[in-house]
Every structure is written in C-alpha cells, then in structure tokens.
A and B are shown apart, each in its own frame.
Chain A
Amino acid sequence: MTRTPQSLPQGRRLGRIDGDVAGILLLAALLIIVLPLGLDIFRLNMVGKYLTYAFVALGLVLCWGSAGILSLGQGIFFGIGGYCMAMFLKLEASSPEATKIQSTPGIPDFMDWNQLKELPWFWEPFHSLTFATIAVVAVPALLAFIVGLAMFKRRVGGVYFAIITQAFAAILTILIIGQQGYTGGINGITDLRTLKGWDIRTDEAKLVLYFVNAALLIGCILLCLHVRRSKLGRILVALRDKEDRVRFSGYDVANFKIFVFCFAAALSAVGGAMFTLQVGFMSPSFVGIVPSIEMVIYCAVGGRLSLLGAVYGTLLVNWAKTMLSESFPELWLFAMGALFIGVVMVFPNGLAGLYQQFIAPRLGRLLPRPASRASAPIIPPHTAAD
C-alpha cells in the first residue's frame, strides 16, 4: 500500500530521511494494519471520515505552518472537492430507470422538486468520472489561484487574508443553500449509491475506500514532504519569517504564496472527495465558517509545522469529539474551546512539539543512533505576526 523508501525524494542528510521515513512507516502501519485489525467496520469508517479532514490539515501545515498564510476558508475547497464527487455520484444514481417516477426522469431528484426540466449546463460534464476526478482538484485550485492572485499580488496577508477567506466561506454557504435547484440546498446532495456500478454503501466497499483513503493520505504526506524538502519549501519558510528579505533577494513572493495556497486547496479538495465517497453525501454544513475554523484546530493540535502531527491531531480531536459528545455532550464545547486556547498559549507546537520535547529525547537515549530529528522546529515568537 505504501511506497518503498527508495522512491522517497532524496534529502540532504541520511538521518533526516530516516526520521521521516520511520514516522511515515509507523503511521502507515497504524492506518493500514493496526486500525483495520483493531476496529470494527463501523468505527473504521469513522476513522476514514476523520482521515479525510487530515488532508485539509496537511494543506494547512504547508500553507499556515510553513508559509504563514492562515486561511479560514479551507472548508470551501473541501466542500467543492466533495461536491464535484457528489455531482458525479448523484448523476449515476439518477439514471432514467431509477428516477422514472419523477416528472423529468434522468435528473437528480432535488432538481425535479425544484421544477428544473433539464440538467443545468455545468452538471453535464459530471457524467464523466474522469472529468469529475480532474474537477475535484482543478476547480478548487483554480478558485484558490484567482483569490491568491488578487490578494497576494497586492501583498494582502495575515489577518486580512484570514478574514476575507472567512467571508468567502460565508458567501459560498449562502449561495449553496439559496440555489437549491442546482446544489440540493441545505440538505446537500444525498443518497449516493454507486461508483461505476460498484455499491459504495456496503461494508466491503467501505473497507476498500478506507484503504484507498489511507494510501492516498500517505501519498499526499510524501508529496508534502517533497515540497517541504525542496528549495521551494525553504523559500516558503524564509518568506514566513522575513518576507521582505526574500523579496529583496529577487524572488516574487506572491507566486510562492499563490502556489502553496493552491496546493493546500487541492489537498483539501481530495479530502472532500474522499469524504463524499465514504460518508455518502455532501452538504453545505462542511463549507461554512465553523467547519473551516475547526479544521485549523486539527492542524494546530497536531503541531502546525508537522505533517505527521497534523494527521494525529485530526484523529485525536475527532476521536475526542465523538467520545465526549457520546458521553458528556455539555463538555464538548468546553473541551474544544480549551483546546483552541491551550494550543495557542501552552503548547503552540502541538503534539509534535510535545513529542519533540518529552518523548524524542528519551527515545534518543534508548536507541543507539538518533532515530528522530527535529522535524518540528520550535516556532519562533514572531512567526505568526504579519
């Protein structure tokens, strides 16, 4: 399922590769062997759903952790990715035979209820799985490109960028809810059944999708690692810490920011598409302000600089959410609020930071050679300042 270490991008030092590879192998073992063996299909499907958020968190590690751009609108891209996939699945579920009781057979049920007589033009291409798959990545990336171009070229960043992306999330939610004939409205696109004739609702399908999801996630981590290790990744860090110096050195700072924002958007969208496949529907409640900001906390809990931390953070927060809301519903908001505050004030480097601080040194003492490296440098005090 996972790639062999040989296919990894070559880093500078041997020790670095070992540390990251060990971490990734450990995660892969956890996701692909331990969890499927230890959990029943119901819980495993839940973990699968959590892991789709981890794609968003990965994007945020690059975008926010590495490059210092905090987007409060990642839900937009998660949502668009999910909607692209949902549109394809919905069209497949709305074959003329399956919808013959409608006044216009062959179009999705919610369109029929809204008196649409034919499929809107932008739905047409989603009959093709290839197109839908490309759209999952391309549409969010394009949108991110436009937003990024407008904002970064004008040197808008920091807080303003966060607030404007948040406003976009609000706008998109209102639009999706309001245009229910085209989008399914507040109910979203529901009752998705098959992917190319393959029933995605069965337990076997859920198991397969879980593994696909886990493999994709590992692949994306490797990709992110590659980006971070490249010269590009180092420029991103440089412009986070001293943007002007990078600019004075002759780099077009905006282009790098646009790239990383688009990249994060595409990652989120992949997560969204996998979410739709595993959960079986998509709705505007994953697009809005609240989910977008919650996704930031997944990344922050894991450690905003650590790719692996983001995955563990996502799993941990969501698991805690499920557990707490099952047993102590009133406590959940308190816990979530405390998490936001704690992660900012007490442990800004999240789980990865705790690991570096407390566990790695002991591991180092136990093992003959340093198995880990400082994968998460401690955040300098002024990183987040604009």
Chain B
Amino acid sequence: MFEGYSLAELGSIFAMQGFAGLILFSVFVLMALGLAIIFGQMGVINMAHGEFMILGAYVTYLCSTFISSYAPALFPVYFFIAMALAFVASGALGMLVEWAMIRFLYRRPLDTLLATWGLSLILQQVFRSVFGAREVGVVLPDWLMGSVAVTGTIEVPINGLFVMALTTAITVAIYAVMFRSRWGQGVRAVMQNRVMAGAVGINTEKVDRYTFGLGCGIAGVAGSAFTMVGSTGPTSGQLYIVDTFLVVVFGGAQSLIGTIASAFTISQAQSTMEFFLSGSTAKVLTLLTVVVILMLRPQGLFVLKVRR
C-alpha cells in the first residue's frame, strides 16, 4: 500500500498515525480512570459507568444550548463550564447511587454488577424520556474544531490535543488526590484494610461515598469530552462498557499505573492494526489478544499486593 509515496509523505502519515494512537490512548484513559477508581479501589463493578459518561455528555449539550441562547458571549469558553457541571452532576448522582444502593452491596461484586446494570437500563430510559430517542448534536466552539498544521503535511486535530491535555490534567489531579492528599491516604487505607482503617478513626462510609462520587464525576468529564469525538444518545454509553472494562482488567485492577499502561498498549495495538488491517478485523483481533493474554495472565499487567 505504500508504493508511489515519497519518504516525506510516509513520514508524515506515520506521525499522524502515531498521533491517532495517542488520541485513542487518551480516550481510553479517560474512560477507564473513573472505572479503575471504582472497580480497583472499591471492588464495585459499575456497569452504569457508560451512562454516567452520557449524563456528562447531556449536561454539555444542555450547557451549549443554554449558553448559546442566553449568554452567547461566553460560548467560546462554555466547554470548561460544561465539564465542571458534568463533573458535579455525575458525581452527585454517583454519591446518591452509592448511598441508596452500592453501600449495601460491598463484598458482593457480582451483585453490584447486576444492580448497576439495572441502574443503567433505568438511566437509559430517563435519558430517552427527557432528551428524546434521537441523538443530539453538541455544538462546539469554533476554536475546538479543525486542525493545526504542524508541517506542510502533518495535521493535528485540535480536539485531539484538547482530549490529550485534559487526560493529562485529570491523571495528574487524580495522582495528587490519591497519593498526595490526606483524603487519598484514607481511601487507600480503606481499600487495603477496611477494618483497620475504621479502627484508626477513618470514616469508611464517607470515604466510600466520595470515592464512588469521584469515579462517577470523572466519568461525567469524560462524557463531556467525548461530545467532541462521538455521539450522544440514550444508548451511546453501552458502546464503551466492554472496552472500558477490558482496559481496567488488563491493567491489573488495583493499579492506576496499570490502567494507564494497559490503555496505552491496547490503543497502540488497535490503532496500528486498524491501519494495516480492516476495521472490524482489527477490533476483533485486539479484543481477542487482550482476552487471551488475560487468560494466560489473569492478574493483568501490573499487580498490587492487597490484603483483603
């Protein structure tokens, strides 16, 4: 497929292809981070993760319609407001769900799986009743669309850059919260030994609630960012769920670094294969490879020793 192209052309194509892989990587990390916190740290399988993302996307949609009709001057920066609101909305709903449902189900991960699947069905129908069955189009400010020409032939999509920057920022923020703050210390303590953590005076219930809320909030931000690259409809969330879980499991569930590493591996593999093979085949091969590796190495890429 490369005959008839100059070396420069090939070089720029490969540069852009590498960049496509990086965008996919950022997307995977965004999807998986919230889930990794909830699943890895709390042992809860949140099948409604995709719906929390879509909630963020709908919040963004509402923001864009609201601001473009009432405060058009703010439109260029509305996306930041929308992301903050998406975080708050999804996080608040997450905390509510934790309070009403999840807290009764700790230590029964398979049951959380079923219950949150039920929640995802309910949320889908709520979206459908409120926003209609059709997909909604989120209008983006102009500066987020289009691409930057790095050289004459290499063009880099701006929203891709934005997603990458956002991913970096969120990852750093999570690192700071989880590993550099007192609250994060509490979360890790609860995860490693709930009883002892309680004994030293950590309010484990409160930690659980905020951790779940944080995970869902990040899902909301991810959903908000995905309005730039994907669709927003009542059932869009389900599209992400298998990929997201595989990323988390593949990385080794308790390890945030593992999640990032696995997102990198899977995204690069998929994007390279998509380039050389056709789309469907690439997808099947990527999934199969991940599943086979997981069967051979069930603990995932990175393992964190945890006493349960």
Enumerate chain A interface residues (CB-CB to B < 8 A): 64, 70, 72, 147, 150-151, 154-156, 158-160, 162-164, 166-168, 170-171, 174-175, 178, 289-290, 293, 296-297, 300, 330, 333-334, 336-345, 348, 381-386
Contact A338 B108 (CB under 8 A): no
Does B125 reach chain A (CB closer than 8 Å)?
yes
Most chain A Cβ neighbours within 10 Å, of B109, B120, B296: B109
Residues of A within 8 A of B287 (CB): 167, 170-171, 174
- CB of B194 closer than 8 Å to a CB of A: no
Q: Do the beta carbons of A155 and B298 come within 8 Å of each other?
A: yes
Cβ contact within 8 Å between B105 and A344: yes
The residues in B between 125 and 182 inclusive whose CB is less than 8 angstroms from any CB of A are: 125, 128-129
* B residues whose Cβ falls under 8 Å from a Cβ of A: 43, 45, 101, 104-105, 107-115, 117-122, 124-125, 128-129, 238, 241-242, 245-246, 249, 280-281, 283-284, 287-288, 290-291, 294-296, 298
Q: Which of A64, A175, A334, A339 contacts B284 (CB 8 A)?
A: A175
Say how far A151's CB is from chain B's closest CB, in angstroms. Answer: 6
**Residues of chain B lying within 8 A (CB to CB) of residue A164:** 249, 291, 294-295
Kindly list 15 other residue pairs between chains A and B, CB separation below 8 angstroms, not including A70-B113, A168-B291, A382-B108.
A160-B298, A162-B113, A163-B245, A164-B291, A167-B242, A171-B291, A336-B118, A337-B119, A340-B118, A340-B119, A341-B122, A344-B112, A344-B114, A382-B107, A384-B110
- Tell me the complex Cα distance, A150–B249, Å: 17
Known: A158-B109, A164-B291. A297 touches B114 (CB 8 A): yes
- B249 is contacted by which of A163, A289, A290, A337 (Cβ under 8 Å)? A163
Residues A344 and B242 in contact, CB atoms below 8 Å apart: no
**Measured between alpha carbons, how far is A159 from B291 in the docked complex, in Å?**
14
Which residue from chain A places its CB closest to the CB of B129 in the assembled complex? A330
Q: Which of B108, B112, B114 counts the most A-chain CB atoms under 10 A from its CB?
A: B114
A333→B235 CA distance, assembly (Å): 12
Q: A64 contacts which chain B residues (CB < 8 A)? A: 110
Quote the shortest CB–CB distance from A384 to chain B (angstroms). Answer: 5
21 contacting pairs across A/B (C-beta < 8 A): A150-B295, A154-B296, A154-B298, A156-B298, A159-B45, A159-B113, A167-B242, A171-B287, A178-B284, A289-B238, A293-B114, A293-B117, A300-B114, A330-B129, A337-B118, A338-B118, A343-B114, A344-B112, A348-B111, A384-B109, A385-B107
A154 contact set on B, CB distance < 8 A = 295-296, 298
Shortest beta-carbon distance from B285 to chain A in Å? 10
**B307 → chain A closest CB, angstroms:** 15
CB distance from A66 to the nearest CB of B (A): 14
Residues from chain A with a CB closer than 8 A to the CB of B245 are 163, 166-167
Are A159 and B110 within 8 A (Cβ)?
A: yes
Q: Establish whether residues A334 and B122, one from each chain, have CB atoms under 8 Å apart when the complex forms.
A: yes
B107 touches A340 (CB 8 A): no
Check A336/B291 contact, CB under 8 A, given A170-B242, A296-B114, A348-B111.
no
- Complex Cα distance A19/B101, Å? 36
In the bound complex, what is the Cα–Cα distance between A163 and B291 (angstroms)? 10
Contact in complex: A178, B280 (CB < 8 Å)? yes
Name the residue of chain B whose CB is nearest to the CB of A343.
B114
- Do residues A385 and B121 form an inter-chain contact, with CB atoms below 8 A? no
Q: Which of B104, B128, B291, B296 has the most CB of A within 10 A?
A: B291
Residues of B close to A345: CB separation below 8 A = 101, 104-105, 115
Q: Which residues of A contact B113 (CB under 8 A)?
A: 70, 72, 159, 162
Q: Once the chains bind, are B125 and A150 in contact (CB under 8 Å)?
A: no
The minimal Cβ–Cβ distance linking B10 to chain A, given in whole angstroms, is: 29
Query: Contact between A174 and B110 (Cβ–Cβ < 8 Å)?
Result: no
Q: Which residues of B contact A175 (CB under 8 A)?
A: 284
Known: A336-B121, A340-B114. A171 touches B288 (CB 8 A): yes
The reply to whether A384 and B108 form a contact with Cβ atoms under 8 Å apart is: yes
Chain A residue numbers with a CB within 8 Å of B125 are: 330, 333-334, 337
**4 closest A-B pairs by CB:** A340-B118, A337-B122, A337-B121, A333-B125
Task: Give the CA-CA distance A151 to B245 in the complex, in Å.
Answer: 17
Q: Give, as a whole number of angstroms, the nearest-CB distance from B30 to chain A.
A: 19
Q: Are B294 and A174 in contact (CB under 8 A)?
A: no
Shortest Cβ distance from B164 into chain A, in angstroms?
27
CA distance A160 to B39 in the complex (A): 11
Cα of A348 to Cα of B121 in the assembled complex, Å? 19
